[in-house]
Amino acid sequence: MAILVYLEQAAGKVKSTSLEAVSFAKALAQKTGEGEVVALALGTMDASELAKVGKAGASKVLYASDPRLTEGVIQAHASATAQAFKSLGAKTLVLAKSSLGDAVSARLAIKLDAALVSNVVELPDLSSGYVVKRSIYTGKAFAFTPVAKENKILAIKKNAIELSKEGVDASVESCSVSLTDVDFASKITSTERASGQILLPEADVVVSGGRGMKGPENWGMLEELASTLGAATGCSKPVSDIGWRPHHEHVGQTGVKVAPSLYVAVGISGAIQHLAGVNSSKCIVVINKDPEAPFFKAADYGIVGDAFEVIPKLTAALKAQ
């Protein structure tokens, strides 16, 4: 028996959220006695990169090396994963909760006649059946979901699981999957990558600016703070609507949902729609000149002050360290 983990990649590297899924699967296998953890890699990837998946807890990586799978064609990924799951005789599939993962896992739930539980934050409670704790209402509450089906798919919430680095390199085995034209009926004709070194949805630290920044010409100071902290930059919706920042930086209910260790919000009021995208952050720091700004209620630390005075001083202090 084994647990299968579906891996996602970005530019040939396994995404950190997928490594968290591997660590979750390892702990799950120990708890349920489901044996080893096998990860599935699709598309063109570097074999040495794949071996590293072992450090997170997988003993083996099945590698379906097919360039057509490098971009996430949903139907093809679902078909390939279903085949690997069946040939492994697995009962549990683990993956990271993500936009691609959502689409693939929904199809897999049908193909495998499996129960799908998304946004999982803890190992299941086995004391009375199989009960999975998951995050709901954009991180404001938890639901405890009993799972009765034999086949299970668990999609793990970002940052909910400690990434293990204690394992050893995994063995990498090639895996052949049979895909037809139907699996590639939808085509990704081009992709536009978000600019910047650190991608916002993946970032561990985010520095975000709102309308309080007054204009795009003032973003230099936020970028400097972000680069000092090794952070990605984000913004509120009006900021991207006006065109001060690109749309892929828009954080919130209708934008990117982030879950970094640290979220620094500068000149953002803290409207509920913005908070919906950030309240899974581990630590929130708010900088706003209005002490009544709603964001302070959601903040772990707050600075009441003018961003144009606070940010340069903060950046200088961080650089000095």
Ligand X SMILES: Cc1cc2nc3c(=O)[nH]c(=O)nc-3n(C[C@H](O)[C@H](O)[C@H](O)COP(=O)(O)OP(=O)(O)OC[C@H]3O[C@@H](n4cnc5c(N)ncnc54)[C@H](O)[C@@H]3O)c2cc1C
Among 211, 223, 227, 228, binds ligand X (CB under 6 A): 211
Coil, strand, or helix at residue 289? coil
**Least Cβ distance, residue 243 to ligand X (angstroms):** 14
- Residue 21 found at the interface with ligand X (CB under 6 A): no
Per CB under 6 A, the segment of 17-25, 47-55, 217-225, 288-296 that binds ligand X is 288-296
Task: Write out the DSSP string of 156-203.
Answer: EPTTSSPPP--S-PPEEEE------GGGGSS------PPPSSS-GGG-
- Residue 252 found at the interface with ligand X (CB under 6 A): yes
Whether the Cβ atoms of residue 75 and residue 184 lie closer than 8 Å to each other: yes
Euclidean distance between CA atoms 177 and 78, whole angstroms:
11
Task: Write out the DSSP string of 114-132.
Answer: -EEEEEE-SPPB-TTS-EE
**Least Cβ distance, residue 99 to ligand X (angstroms):** 15
Q: How far does Cα 249 stand from its chain's mean position? A: 15
- Residue 293 found at the interface with ligand X (CB under 6 A): yes
Q: In terms of Cα–Cα distance, which of 92, 79, 82, 9 is closest to 50?
A: 9
- Residue 27 found at the interface with ligand X (CB under 6 A): no
- Residue 101 found at the interface with ligand X (CB under 6 A): no
Whether the Cβ atoms of residue 138 and residue 278 lie closer than 8 Å to each other: no
Whether the Cβ atoms of residue 257 and residue 250 lie closer than 8 Å to each other: no
Per CB under 6 A, the segment of 62-70, 88-96, 162-170, 247-255 that binds ligand X is 247-255
- Residue 238 found at the interface with ligand X (CB under 6 A): yes
- Residue 241 found at the interface with ligand X (CB under 6 A): no
When the beta carbons of 173 and 290 are compared against ligand X, the nearer one is 290
Q: What six digits make up the tokens of 218?
A: 């003032």
Q: Which residue has the tokens 């007054």?
A: 214
- Residue 267 found at the interface with ligand X (CB under 6 A): yes
- Residue 255 found at the interface with ligand X (CB under 6 A): yes
Whether the Cβ atoms of residue 274 and residue 294 lie closer than 8 Å to each other: no
- Residue 271 found at the interface with ligand X (CB under 6 A): yes
- Residue 212 found at the interface with ligand X (CB under 6 A): yes
What dihedral angle (degrees, nearest 10) is formed by the CA atoms of 110, 117, 256, 199?
Answer: -90
Among 118, 236, 279, 315, binds ligand X (CB under 6 A): 236
When the beta carbons of 63 and 296 are compared against ligand X, the nearer one is 296
- Residue 259 found at the interface with ligand X (CB under 6 A): no
- Residue 273 found at the interface with ligand X (CB under 6 A): yes
Residues contributing to the site for ligand X (CB under 6 A) = 210-212, 236-239, 252-255, 267-269, 271, 273-274, 277, 287-290, 293, 306-308
